[in-house]
Amino acid sequence: MIEVKEPKRIPLIGSLQGMYTVFKHLFKKPITVQYPEEKAYTPARFKFRIFLSMDDCVGCTLCEQVCPNLSIRMIVVERNNPHNKRNLYPQVNFGTCTVCRNCEEICPTEAIYLTHELETARTKNNFFYSPEELQKTESEVKK
């Protein structure tokens, strides 16, 4: 039978190690920020908030078709746009959007695009953005 040796336990070593770790971090700059007063760093390539140019949208529905989780739904908005005779424009649900950017890539007129803006939840009671709201900056979107 193989004899398993118990490791030697030195009293208080674990506690001292814990105290050392706490002490070491007491004098370091915190990595968390006081959001929303302080903004966290966002990488240059990060994108989230989708914008739409209704004048450029031709209502082709391609963005709706390529969205992998049905975050885009085409709705009718009556407006005078000779390029969009069916008056179909995308509405986006940011609650389910996974920022895959398929809609941006497929759009033939670059009417729909993602931006560096990342805050949406603070200004609305739901995550659905109508085509008109997708045209506005976040501060302009009705609360």
Which residues make up the interface to ligand SF4 (CB under 6 A)? 57-63, 66-67, 69, 71-72, 90, 92, 97-103, 106-107, 109, 111-112
Q: For residues 41 and 44, give the distance between their C-alpha atoms in angstroms, rounded to a whole number.
A: 9
Can you read off the two tokens belonging to residue 41? Answer: 């760093």
Q: Which is nearer to ligand SF4, 17 or 55 (CB)?
A: 55
CA–CA distance, 79 with 57 (Å, rounded to integer): 12
Minimum distance of ligand SF4 from residue 91's CB (angstroms): 10
Around 12, how many Cα atoms within 13 Å sit in the side-chain half-sphere?
1
Shortest distance, position 110 Cβ to ligand SF4, whole Å: 8
Residue showing tokens 């609650």: 95
**Which of 21, 109 has the CB closer to ligand SF4?**
109
Q: Which of 36, 52, 51 is nearest to 115 (CA)?
A: 51
Please, what is the minimum distance in Å from the beta carbon of residue 108 to ligand SF4?
6
For ligand SF4, the closer of residues 109 and 137 by Cβ is 109
Rounded least distance, CB 142 to ligand SF4, Å = 21
The residue among 72 and 120 lying less far from ligand SF4, judged by its C-beta, is 72
What 3-state class would DSSP assign to 125?
Answer: coil
